[in-house]
Structure 1
Amino acid sequence: MKRSGFVFLFVIVALCVSIGAWYFNAKPYMINGIGNSEEAIDVLPNKKWVFAFSESLKESTVNSSTVFIQNRKGKNIDVHIELLDNRIITVHPPKDGYELKNGPYSIVVSKGVKAKNGQPIKEEMKVEFNIHETLQSVKNKKQLNSLFQNHLASMEKTVEKGLFSGFSMGRAGSDMSSEAMDDSDGEVATPQSSEFSETNVQVAGVDEGDIVKTDGTFIYQIMDNKLTIFKVNAPEKIEHTTEVRYNNFTPSQLYVDKEHVVVIGYEYGGASHYPTRGDVGIMPIMPMYSAAKAIVYDFSNKKELKEIQSTTIEGNLLSTRKVDDYVYLITNHYPNVWTLKEDIEVDLRPHISTSLNGEDKKEELEYVDYEKIYHIPGSTEPNFMNIVAINIKKQNEKVNTVTYVGSGNEIFMSRSTLYITVPTYPEFDGIGHWFDHTETEIYKFNVDKSNIEYKATGTVPGRLLNQFSMDEFEGHFRVATTTGNAWDETAPSGNHLFVMDQTLEVIGSVEDLARGERIYSVRFMGEKAYVVTFKEVDPLFVFDLSNPTDPKVLGELKIPGFSNYLHPYDENHLIGFGYNTTLEKGHDNRPFVVQDGVKLSLFDVSDPTDPKEKFTEIIGGRATYSQLNYDHKALLFHKEKDIFAFPIVIYEQGSKYDYRLDFQGAFVYGIDLEKGFTRHLEISHSKSERSYYESWEEDIHRVLYIGDHLYAVSPKNISAHKITW
């Protein structure tokens, strides 16, 4: 029987069994853990245990007598036990963490815990665990495969019990990707007063890959499976100089400096790339090979583009960054753990290869060394997260790769620190109830050129929106999260801001803001933070973070619409970019929110206790959108040149359900603190004045400046426009 049919049969059986048990006993399920285990599991000293139950619990039965942790001598240790939403038991670690010398430990949730109807829980849960001060490396194949076999057994038990997790049903056998980052040391990274623009990034001195870049003389673009370089001799003379087309490789972002061009993307191939062991062919769920690849070119003479290095590692790209001469790739690779059923000797480590001077070394793929593979304790996802450091200036320097068994989701990177987040996922009890007690684990690494060293782990409740949810300032890490769901009236969402110390312990927080709403945008600016939440109106919250142990909400502004991107104008003004909204009545006369055009807002936060929306600009109708709504790199901002430019596609409403394309291109605005928004320029690459459909070829992706001219870049055209205002 195929695995999909096997899984479906287990689910049906498990549903029937679970329905019969529902009415008699509450059942505990461990979130972000292994569950009842015959072997001790490894955790870090500040491990927090979380258990969800299928029914509401009787609060008086949740105490240190019914839920406890014992050391190796059987003595109970002092921990803080918390009951959340009547169904979630959280066991916090001792103040100074668990001591290694007193392990192994056992955590017990006994039958003394009772449901509200007085019935004891269905089964006692006991987990034995060992403490390690830092992440442990995987010593050999046997240890690594044993680790994956435990994950596989846990996945099968999940199916048997009728429980679904974000991994077991949604993420197995596939590589996922995302993007992340924010500002460091309170320094907002804006284009410098130079002769050409730079990518709109979050951290000063930490570059982010983009699809278009310039060095003031050339414009570099990746589009349609090729790298194209244009020389700007004069505004009216843009010369096509170089083009590189790729096969079995799809570029997605690039970096440039004075001497180098780095193109990063995905390499694809057939199942032949997978190795075999013994008589059993190792065939993935989908017979495809995918890997992240970085190609480094020498362009020092500005005439010839010469490939000097390429690095390929299995998995999908999570994110990249560039600091000085080093490019960092963070990837996720999900090995086909089901092959362990057929061959316990299979080598599941990710492959990596490096070639110099354009040499093809596909047949010389190497495995990541075991001593460079570490296990993230408690991770419920059997995947590899790889951190790769490449020196683009000294191609003979060995590419350093460090690998962790466990998932990565969002990242924040300063010039010396890397943070990677790992969220848990809602659990399903098999009979219609989700345990949505999402938590986010944060892993901190020190980065010094090619040296990457794990430093600390911390946990916060809730999930992050995107890279702007994180920030580092004067030794403290700040993060904003949302718990619950805005649409769930029985367990409404809440929004939180946490401040953590260098060991990633929470030392201050503001919790449960804007119940029933969720976070739409965040911006940290030194000792202040700005958070937008939304459901029907847009509250802009202003936070005072000057005292890390006692953060406070200073002010709140409620307005129609919401901002899904916030950009600093100066220390007293903030630019919001998002959507205007209106309330309409549905068929049941209940109001619902509809988006009604792109909205620009200029917020005056000079008095943080009384923030004001000083000016607004509404663009287009309901279907109008901009790349800036979801990609901050689509913005060109220069305060001194009075430029706030972005791509835009405008739709206007005809009849009630009819929207017609009105404009496709880019707008350039100026911002004046006394006059508000002024539209300086409308740029379009459309060949006709009126079109009913958007055109991919005419879609402007980026606006740059070189000297006193703007350059709008679309897939088939670059146009120059003099800055005259």
Structure 2
Amino acid sequence: MKLLNEYKNDLKFLISKKAVLLVVLGVLAAVVLGCVQSPGGQSRIEPPEKAESPSESAAQQLKKFSSADEIKEYINANSQQSSYYGSFVTRGFAVTGTADMAMEESAVPMAKSSGAAEFSQTNVQVKGVDEADFVKNDDKYIYTLSQDKLLIVDVYPAEDAEILSETEIEGIPRNMFVNDDRLVIFSVVDDEAFVIPEYDFVPRKRYAPRTHAFVYDISDRKEPILVNDFNVNGQYYQARMIGDYIYFIAKDNVYYQNNYIDLPVIREGAEKLVIPDVYYFDNPETNFVFHTIAAFSINKDEINAKSFLMGYSNNLMVSKDNIYISYQKNVPWRHHEQDNKERFYEVIVPLLPGKVRDEIEAVKSSGLSGYEKWEQVSSILEDMYNNMDEGDKEDLVEEIEEAVEEYELKKEIERRKTIIHKIAIDGGDIDYIAKGEVEGYLLNQFSMDEFESNLRVATTTEIWARRESRQYNNVYVLDGGMEVIGELEEIAPDESIYSTRFIGERLYMVTFKRIDPFFVIDLSRPEEPEILGQLKIPGFSDYLHSYDENHIIGIGKETADNQWGGTSIKGVKVALFDVSDVSNPEMIDKYEIGDSGTDSEALREHKALLFDRGKNILVLPIRKVKGDRYRDPRYGYYRQKVWQGAYVLGLTPEDGIELKGMVSHYEDDEDYRYYWGSPYAVRRSLYMDDVLYTISAKKILANSLEDLDDELAEIDLPYKQEKYYPVLY
């Protein structure tokens, strides 16, 4: 009893010193045991002792499943290692749920005499790689997806504008492409299917999403004709069009129940065309998702597809030659437990006194069960602490704590790496190339860029450990085989990336915490990225766009120091940066819109931006909040009036930024009734010759670019009005 009381006193002492006895006793008891049997024969919950993880080289190798049974075996084995909080392996009924950058001129000349001489197109990341959107146009027509309909509107000339056709689309239309007289709509349809599990006899109903690529012949814009319906399991993810070839990706959570697995299937309509090959990597993931990449020519009836079983992706970048799919590495829970076991034997045990270390190593190499091993190890540790004086005990705990902290930081960096898969595309062919890893996480698709066969990546690292947290940013260059050949790490400590833009041999990057450092980074030597200059100003940019070789446009928010010593976010800010002197970038001018709460879809969705240097226009959808809150006696709450519409700005290096005009689809100039998702909210804008068209779900307005107050046409769009309530400010 005396021994036990002294041991308890030691525990109290250690706890008072931020002790890590939890590291050397309490926590270790949970992580060293493995899955064991207690002396009474009762099964315990502790994880099993697991074989070593596959080597990195083995995990990098692409493998192909040879049968459905092999996939099931793989899922069975690896889902058991998945996060204790749940895997995306569904066991039950499924729940639906560069130099070559397109930023110089939006205008595209057309040879047809019936339409506009020049017109804008969707703002995209890579020139020559079109991105699907819910609004498209050519030289004469606007195509828009409104609720469950495709609307084709003849808008040129504006004075004769009219709706030519309304076509109902099955499912939930998401985005589309237009290519001359062909139009492709991506729609998600919840299919009802009946499945008979293996060796069962009762069909079981399940609902599962399928992504459809509806191909229409629009030679007659008044009567679009459906000519193909390519569809694949899963939710629509993203799509690109390169020339006449379309590549789209669907993501499908693995459905596995009663020994039945739902594999990706490509269909044309209801007819099964092919079950694509399924590829995988022999390394654990927290969740498994089928990523099916399908490719077809817009003028042919053939489709090619491959499916990859990988983690749940969150960013995608497409060049003319490759698709890059990325996701952050998430180590399954039991691999964390394995890390804890390794931490004890590799970090803690070597710091223990020699005799104690030898005794523990002897127990480790014995033939005892995991439970029996830990019983002996804990007894050895107990004796050690009882026989140490207070000073030695405190020194040992401090030494262990520091070593564990360093170990955990290294492990945390490894766990938070981003995995990037490179898949080659060429004329409808799809070929896997390689897999790479970089430290940190990617913000969005603009965090990746392909240049001269290399992939450039910008990431933010966030590490949370016992006594220390770290945050910084990195730039990596990967070669064609996805090996890191250059790196620039620990940029802007304690800040995170808000926007990036790779342009030729440079990277422009904005980080933020309290001010906006605007970095110019040289990538002309891929092996040695280098910061050339930086500018620190209030606010931040969420999106960067090239004006010309020496000027960059930043679109984001203004900030100001507040009375509490922090930073308050104000309205939307458009800034123009001069980078002709790379060592000393400067902001030429800025234009602020609204007060706190003001927002723009362009901050999150680059396709909402219209910019044309030749016409000197930059058009943003804006929700402007301005003025003090006032109490509305009718409802008894405080609010601010809100304006929603499009801001049309002019900007040049010589004259700075100026307001050319504003266009709203609301009848009232300012309306407290504006709410998120309003059908009157301007979402997209485009031009044909000297006419600006703004599009909401409710209408299309045509205004003269020479005089934006001159409204040339208003086209009311069919919209099923639903009951909404105003957002209160």
Report TM bin, short chain: 0.7 to 0.9
Tell me the residue number matched to 1:268.
Answer: 190
Structure 2: how far apart are the matches of 1:165 and 1:333?
16
- Which of 125, 130, 133 does residue 202 from structure 1 map onto? 125
Tell me the residue number matched to 1:393.
Answer: 299
Corresponding letter in the other structure for 1:212 = V
Structure 2: how far apart are the matches of 1:635 and 1:186?
15
Query: Structure 1 residue 366: deviation in Å?
Result: 5.9
Tell me the residue number matched to 1:595.
Answer: 569
Q: Structure 1 491/238 Cα, relative in aligned 2: closer, same or farther at 3 Å?
A: same
Q: Secondary structure at the match of 1:640?
A: coil
Query: Structure 1 residue 415: deviation in Å?
Result: 1.3
Q: Structure 1 402/566 Cα, relative in aligned 2: closer, same or farther at 3 Å?
A: same
Structure 2: how far apart are the matches of 1:601 and 1:251?
35
Please give the per-residue CA displacement for 1:219-271, whole angstroms capped at 9, x wherever unaligned. Answer: 10002121100012421221110111234x0111111121111111211134x
Q: Structure 1 421/583 Cα, relative in aligned 2: closer, same or farther at 3 Å?
A: same
Number of residue pairs the alignment of both structures matches? 581
Q: Secondary structure at the match of 1:320?
A: strand
Q: Is the 8 A contact 1:190 1:201 kept in 2?
A: no
Please give the per-residue CA displacement for 1:452-499, whole angstroms capped at 9, x wherever unaligned. Answer: 111111110111000000001112110000111699992121100001
- Which of 206, 229, 234 does residue 157 from structure 2 map onto? 234
Q: Is the 8 A contact 2:79 2:87 kept in 1?
A: no
- Which of 64, 70, 79 does residue 152 from structure 1 map onto? 79
Please give the per-residue CA displacement for 1:393-422, whole angstroms capped at 9, x wherever unaligned. Answer: 112x2x111001113331111111111113
- Which of 257, 262, 266 does residue 348 from structure 1 map onto? 262
Structure 2: how far apart are the matches of 1:489 and 1:212?
50
- Which of 239, 262, 273 does residue 320 from structure 1 map onto? 239
Q: Are residues 1:410 and 2:315 paired?
A: yes
Q: Are residues 1:375 and 2:280 paired?
A: yes
- Which of 593, 601, 624 does residue 627 from structure 1 map onto? 601
Q: Is the 8 A contact 1:329 1:389 kept in 2?
A: yes
Structure 2: how far apart are the matches of 1:426 and 1:694?
44
Q: Give TM-score, length-normalised by structure 1.
A: 0.74
Query: Structure 1 residue 293: deviation in Å?
Result: 1.2
Tell me the residue number matched to 2:689.
Answer: 707
Q: Is the 8 A contact 1:212 1:220 kept in 2?
A: yes
Tell me the residue number matched to 1:294.
Answer: 213
Q: Is the 8 A contact 1:297 1:305 kept in 2?
A: yes
Q: Structure 1 219/415 Cα, relative in aligned 2: closer, same or farther at 3 Å?
A: same
Q: Is the 8 A contact 1:521 1:532 kept in 2?
A: yes
Q: Is the 8 A contact 1:292 1:314 kept in 2?
A: yes
Structure 1: how far apart are the matches of 2:252 and 2:131?
22
Q: Structure 1 20/347 Cα, relative in aligned 2: closer, same or farther at 3 Å?
A: farther
Tell me the residue number matched to 1:552.
Answer: 530
Q: Is the 8 A contact 2:194 2:203 kept in 1?
A: no
- Rg larger in 1 or in 2? 2
After TM superposition, the structure 1 stretch with the greater mean CA deviation from structure 2, 183-192 or 551-560, is: 183-192
Please give the per-residue CA displacement for 1:368-406, whole angstroms capped at 9, x wherever unaligned. Answer: 24xx111133241222111000211112x2x11100111
Q: Is the 8 A contact 1:704 1:712 kept in 2?
A: yes
Structure 1: how far apart are the matches of 2:514 and 2:465?
12
Unaligned runs of 5+ in 2: 1-19, 36-47, 110-117, 341-407, 632-637, 708-729
Tell me the residue number matched to 1:278.
Answer: 199
Tell me the residue number matched to 1:12.
Answer: none
- Which of 445, 450, 460 does residue 472 from structure 1 map onto? 450
Q: Which has the higher helix share?
A: 2
Structure 2: how far apart are the matches of 1:686 and 1:187?
32
Q: Are residues 1:508 and 2:508 paired?
A: no
Please give the per-residue CA displacement for 1:158-196, whole angstroms capped at 9, x wherever unaligned. Answer: 53xxxx578689xx96688xxxxxx46567464135311
Structure 2: how far apart are the matches of 1:300 and 1:275?
44
Structure 2: how far apart are the matches of 1:556 and 1:28?
50
Q: Structure 1 296/538 Cα, relative in aligned 2: closer, same or farther at 3 Å?
A: same
Unaligned runs of 5+ in 1: 1-18, 31-35, 38-121, 177-182, 356-360
- Once the two structures are aligned, what percentage of the paired residues are identical? 32
After TM superposition, the structure 1 stretch with the greater mean CA deviation from structure 2, 433-442 or 416-425, is: 433-442
Q: Give TM-score, length-normalised by structure 2.
A: 0.74
Please give the per-residue CA displacement for 1:668-697, whole angstroms capped at 9, x wherever unaligned. Answer: 100021221111121011022332121512
Corresponding letter in the other structure for 1:602 = L
Tell me the residue number matched to 2:179.
Answer: 257
Q: Secondary structure at the match of 2:77?
A: helix
Corresponding letter in the other structure for 1:724 = E
Query: Structure 1 residue 126: deviation in Å?
Result: 2.8
- Which of 107, 114, 119 does residue 192 from structure 1 map onto? 107
Corresponding letter in the other structure for 2:119 = F
Query: Structure 1 residue 592: deviation in Å?
Result: 3.2
Tell me the residue number matched to 1:684.
Answer: 664
Q: Secondary structure at the match of 1:24?
A: helix
RMSD of equivalent CA atoms: 3.3
Q: Structure 1 186/642 Cα, relative in aligned 2: closer, same or farther at 3 Å?
A: closer
Write the mapping of 1:347-366 to structure 2, written as runs, cut at 5 A. 347-355=261-269, 361=270, 364-365=271-272
Tell me the residue number matched to 1:721.
Answer: 703
- Which of 690, 694, 697 does residue 679 from structure 2 map onto? 697
Corresponding letter in the other structure for 2:165 = T
Corresponding letter in the other structure for 1:24 = L
- Which of 223, 227, 238 does residue 304 from structure 1 map onto? 223
Please give the per-residue CA displacement for 1:286-318, whole angstroms capped at 9, x wherever unaligned. Answer: x53211111010112444311100111111122
Q: Structure 1 594/273 Cα, relative in aligned 2: closer, same or farther at 3 Å?
A: farther
Q: Structure 1 143/427 Cα, relative in aligned 2: closer, same or farther at 3 Å?
A: closer
Q: Secondary structure at the match of 2:74?
A: helix
Q: Is the 8 A contact 2:645 2:664 kept in 1?
A: yes
